[in-house]
Structure 1
């Protein structure tokens, strides 16, 4: 059998989470995993816990190196990759794969792909997709045992310089979604990076902080409850409860604002591997990275980003299941037998249709609600690689990994065009899409209309004359006066990060 020497890692590329570039030569004696990933990809995010588990189990003789091979143009920027490393708590070294050269040298075909290199520097295997932890665990253990016998193993821990060591601490950390309610003067903020929900007035005065900041799944009162990277929220004003897509816990949580308690109402705390449409009891059915929620009648509609589907939870009898989406990652219009989505990440409704920010397809979709579900494309190419930044009409529009939508009345839908760092609006009748806010520069700058700047905005919500924006990489909530299109940054006096609050006591 011919053994294949692993191609060397380049020293002249950008490296993150390490004090200096690494080489396979200096890593001889260790098992090396190369994780080919791109930070938009939900499948890539799903294997991060597996890689962390393996890193900890074989700390002395395993090195994991992320090879970031960008899909979207925005993901090629080193600073944007650094922010993703911080957002997803990645602690292994990452090399920025310029021009897909390492991808090509290792003949990679899909995200994510993990390549296994033995202690003598030879490629011994590669696996693509999710759910491969047990296979990798067995292979690593076998390689370590084999090379211990040969005397070719090097057991030691490597010193690293993590990006988080130099990162600033903010009161909000990568807020993913925001929800405004004018009637109760409430602004619900998914403080995603701090694993909690913050409630303020629309002017920014803190009302409540829900969750203690630890990333876990724990029900209880507001002070002891725990979330893990919560995203979208839906508010039931009549019953004073908030529904939360608890993304990394693969669960839906219910926040009772009167009793001040949190309970899990759907999901079992770990990821589903079933991509085919199915039904079940909410308390016994596994979910797959729920990213946003919206209330429609007595149903809670769920953007199930991990399985590329829209789900429905019956709030009366706890029945839960797929509403539409075959589970394939694509952008196909039609009924339940054929319709597909590509990582749906944001939801809104006018009561007749459900609007979906279909992020991996950079497309806005709509699902009929008043009759048998049918999917249509509002704007965007419908092509997984048909992204860009172009105003226009229908399929001529180009977006870049749009993460949220908000219905503004009068047939107008607002779009968080996340990777273009802009806010756009589309006319639902004509499909004409226009940029209204943001100059496309990833920055924090207040101003009017196209003079303002955002940095990967991911959440939108409207209340009265104001549009609120979760400006994710700016760790901020922005607000827009809709009559003047003037953007300002919401001040939240007294709010601090969970650990900082703890230290002050």
Structure 2
């Protein structure tokens, strides 16, 4: 279908600007009223030489940047790519507008900046030993990630932030500010589970009352704020952002601070929640699929990156996937996944949502092989395959070849006839693909995040029609597709056959506004019913069962009457045979043989509800263990500090060679009691008086065992004894230690250093009793 130029411009402007107004991801920077630089705009504006990698924007991001600049400039047309209204980084003026005298030094990249507000008002800190004061992070760039753990866009940004942390481990500190949407998300224990489930490596503060959010003038999830090494708020972004954009930003920003000695590149150490996590056979199982005919239960063992297959009674049969994160096809032992979610069974094959790979995988259960059938392994940047906002031609249908079409967080699957339906959580749509894998594309949903009933697809992208809000679970009675529409806390119904309207069974589609923020825990019928972020649905014997995830309940829905009752969970008829059987954020469920199988995600378990007896129990999977993944690289010494000392004459002791290691800590720092102080000893030659059999081993010493007093806490010492094979002679030793130390009063700010002493020793009876080794830690 060809569109005239005038129509194209009007369409793009009306449709995409409508998306911005309704989506909640308006970028308000560029150069806006608060003077912050937008991260993406900063990269493009400073990339005159083409060295920095620019983000490929999504359809929504593209117009967000335009709208933000129009808002800032008072224009009704897009500004150019340069940062609007202000000096470009790299100009010949400093922030005060005067010419610099240091023409050979990098110029200040942020002419507009102001002191950052403090991180006060939170309800507690996670993934760190204690609270963090921004003052203690002087010398570091700090990236604040304002997020809430229900939000798919917040989930998408986490892998990009992890790449940033790995690329700039000594220059950048990321801090998550969890500002909850849902009531359940306000609890620190629940956030701690999300921190581990998403494998977050940085500290997180629980901003349950949105005090920090308000201090930083945040308006949407996710949002970033960047604080420079001098404590100034300098940049920000709203919406999803990729590592390439962040990388380009810091490539441009770092030289100024490094050239002026403003960077503290000492490594940081944080006490992650995962350090204390127990090893469990299942790790945050996400979805289950019960196959009554085959006596099989398929479990998406999401954080073990595999599919576990058992009998319905729990007899372990086999696993699919090695447990390593990846997207390799192959046999069951070598194939890899990345946090799989929903599954569907058809024609001897298991179809799997490989969610964080943004792919669909097909498991041949007879040949025991895994193949990729849809997705490229990269996240789609828009909800409409083939849609190009720069083109004058619109495709007749928004479909693509499955293996060359990017997907965006496929979350759940359902097979009806010869069609595979996909809950595509990222673009808030239901997609479909024939089982012959001939094409893939949207089936329902206009790409706007909302709860709106209406026709399956709009006549043009983002136009009027049905809207979903992060669809996450699928089931069917054979007549219609039921959808757990999580962010809208609703249950939707989608007709098959490509005709008819999307309707709402439970939810608030009829409300004039605020539909995404109406939730609760209320049984009943009609408009009084409330759910809280349901993630799973299952149809069984005329009843639609719902995993009401954030209420930690299983509920039953009478679809015709639009009524809801609680089946299992707190204050329900079925509460568990023992305290250990209580539900904790169940996310998936499936029914067979009179039982409902529940993926009880935060319990790392599969619960079973016996509908006849009313008993809730835990499925015992005998013999199942967590996967062994051995391909991780061996850790290197963090921040090695070489220390050369003169030759030491020392007298052999009864137990060997006595050495005292003394660490002079920076003022205000103390040893981290929760982390071990470790050391290793090596020798340069193959032979010498030191016992070679004892070399190379890592020894851990509990910091608490040093029994430090207030007088010695600033310079703690560790006494070690090195075994000897002879009592005389020379040796050249290398003694390396790893020390964790934290700021007193702000124990969340911890550093790590590894002094490495090169120690030539001479063993002689007239030598000193101890080799004294000292180091000044940064």
1:282 aligns with 2:390: no
One of 176, 190, 201 as aligned partner of 1:91 = 201
Q: What does the per-residue CA deviation read over 1:202-243, in whole Å, with 9 as the maximum and x for residues that have no partner? A: 00001111101001101000000001110111011xx31100
Equivalent residues of 1:221, 1:261 under 8 A apart: yes
Moved more, 277-286 or 412-421: 277-286
Over aligned residue pairs, what C-alpha RMSD do you find? 1.9
Distance 1:501 1:454, change over 3 A: farther
TM-score (norm 1): 0.95
Q: What does the per-residue CA deviation read over 1:347-379, in whole Å, with 9 as the maximum and x for residues that have no partner? A: 001111000000000000000114514200001
TM-score (norm 2): 0.62
1:380 maps to: 507
1:451 positional shift: 12
One of 353, 356, 360 as aligned partner of 1:252 = 360
For 1:42-57, list aligned pairs within 5 A: 42-57=152-167
1:351 maps to: 478
Q: Distance in 2 between matches of 1:38 and 1:371?
A: 35
Moved more, 128-137 or 296-305: 128-137
2:115 maps to: 5
Aligned residues: 496
Q: Distance in 1 between matches of 2:318 and 2:581?
A: 30
Q: Distance in 1 between matches of 2:285 and 2:112?
A: 50
What secondary structure is seen at the aligned counterpart in 1 of 2:248? helix
Moved more, 452-461 or 185-194: 452-461
1:263 aligns with 2:371: yes
Runs of 4+ in 1 over 3 A off after TM superposition: 132-135
1:342 maps to: 469
1:483 aligns with 2:612: yes
Equivalent residues of 2:568, 2:575 under 8 A apart: no
Distance 1:11 1:152, change over 3 A: farther
Equivalent residues of 1:65, 1:94 under 8 A apart: yes
Q: Distance in 2 between matches of 1:9 and 1:317?
A: 51
1:177 aligns with 2:287: yes
Q: What does the per-residue CA deviation read over 1:445-494, in whole Å, with 9 as the maximum and x for residues that have no partner? A: 6239x996200001110112111111110001111111222111110000
Q: What does the per-residue CA deviation read over 1:116-141, in whole Å, with 9 as the maximum and x for residues that have no partner? A: 11111111111011134333222222
Q: What does the per-residue CA deviation read over 1:72-118, in whole Å, with 9 as the maximum and x for residues that have no partner? A: 00001101111011111001111111310000000001000010111
One of 540, 546, 554 as aligned partner of 1:415 = 546
Equivalent residues of 1:379, 1:396 under 8 A apart: no
2:125 maps to: 15
1:275 positional shift: 2.2
2:340 maps to: 230
Q: Distance in 2 between matches of 1:451 and 1:77?
A: 20
Q: Distance in 1 between matches of 2:581 and 2:546?
A: 16
1:447 maps to: 577
Q: Distance in 2 between matches of 1:79 and 1:373?
A: 43
Equivalent residues of 1:438, 1:452 under 8 A apart: no
Equivalent residues of 2:373, 2:437 under 8 A apart: no
Considering only CA atoms, is the larger Rg found in Structure 1 or Structure 2?
2
What secondary structure is seen at the aligned counterpart in 1 of 2:265? coil
Q: Distance in 1 between matches of 2:194 and 2:222?
A: 16
Equivalent residues of 1:251, 1:290 under 8 A apart: yes
Equivalent residues of 2:505, 2:562 under 8 A apart: yes
Q: Distance in 1 between matches of 2:114 and 2:383?
A: 35
What secondary structure is seen at the aligned counterpart in 2 of 1:142? helix
2:625 maps to: 496
Q: Distance in 1 between matches of 2:436 and 2:243?
A: 38
1:305 maps to: 425
Distance 1:12 1:296, change over 3 A: closer
Q: Distance in 1 between matches of 2:498 and 2:368?
A: 37
What secondary structure is seen at the aligned counterpart in 2 of 1:212? coil
Equivalent residues of 2:296, 2:311 under 8 A apart: yes
2:596 maps to: 467
Unaligned stretches of 5+ residues in structure 1: none
For 1:95-244, list aligned pairs within 5 A: 95-236=205-346, 239-244=347-352
1:405 aligns with 2:537: yes
Distance 1:359 1:271, change over 3 A: same
Q: Distance in 1 between matches of 2:558 and 2:245?
A: 49
Distance 1:373 1:497, change over 3 A: farther
1:363 aligns with 2:483: no
Distance 1:37 1:430, change over 3 A: same
Equivalent residues of 1:196, 1:211 under 8 A apart: yes
Moved more, 424-433 or 476-485: 476-485
Unaligned stretches of 5+ residues in structure 2: 1-110, 386-397, 459-464, 510-514, 632-778
Q: Distance in 2 between matches of 1:19 and 1:268?
A: 40
